[in-house]
């Protein structure tokens, strides 16, 4: 069986840091944990599932105060329920917000 990691265009980081997210430009931010980050997408844990195709605004909050938060708009690709009743959300980055 072919290893999918070998076909990726960019490597994955495992930041294990806080993330805030909300439906694009609407509502209160919710909190989760960013578990993977690459050049084109991310994975995070959330307390709820999101429909495929939904646009979210995210803020990745780095562990170090030296780096600013990364603010981006993403599109949900899938939500997978985990054993602890959280959901692992996979999303593709559509745009990164600058200062």
For the chain, the domain total comes to 1
Q: What is the pLDDT of residue 89?
A: 97
Confidence (pLDDT) at 98: 73
| Residues in the chain where the model's pLDDT stays below 70 | 1-15, 99
Residue 10 confidence (pLDDT): 55
3-class SS of residue 6: helix
pLDDT of residue 1: 40
pLDDT of residue 2: 44
CATH value at residue 40: 2.40.10.220
pLDDT for residue 11: 57
The pLDDT, as a whole number, for residue 67 is: 78
- Residue 26: give the domain boundaries: 4-96
Q: Strand ranges (DSSP E) for the chain?
A: 17-23, 30-37, 41-46, 55-61, 70-81, 87-96
């Amino acid at each position: 069986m072919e290893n999918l990691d070998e076909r990726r265009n960019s490597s994955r980081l495992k930041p294990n840091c806080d993330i805030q997210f909300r439906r694009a430009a609407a509502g209160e931010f919710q909190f989760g944990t960013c578990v993977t980050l690459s050049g084109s997408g991310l994975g995070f844990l959330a307390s709820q599932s999101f429909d495929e195709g939904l646009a979210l605004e995210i803020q990745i909050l780095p562990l170090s105060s030296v780096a600013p938060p990364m603010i981006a708009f993403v599109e949900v690709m899938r939500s997978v329920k985990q054993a602890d009743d959280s959901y692992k959300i996979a999303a593709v980055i559509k745009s990164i917000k600058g200062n």
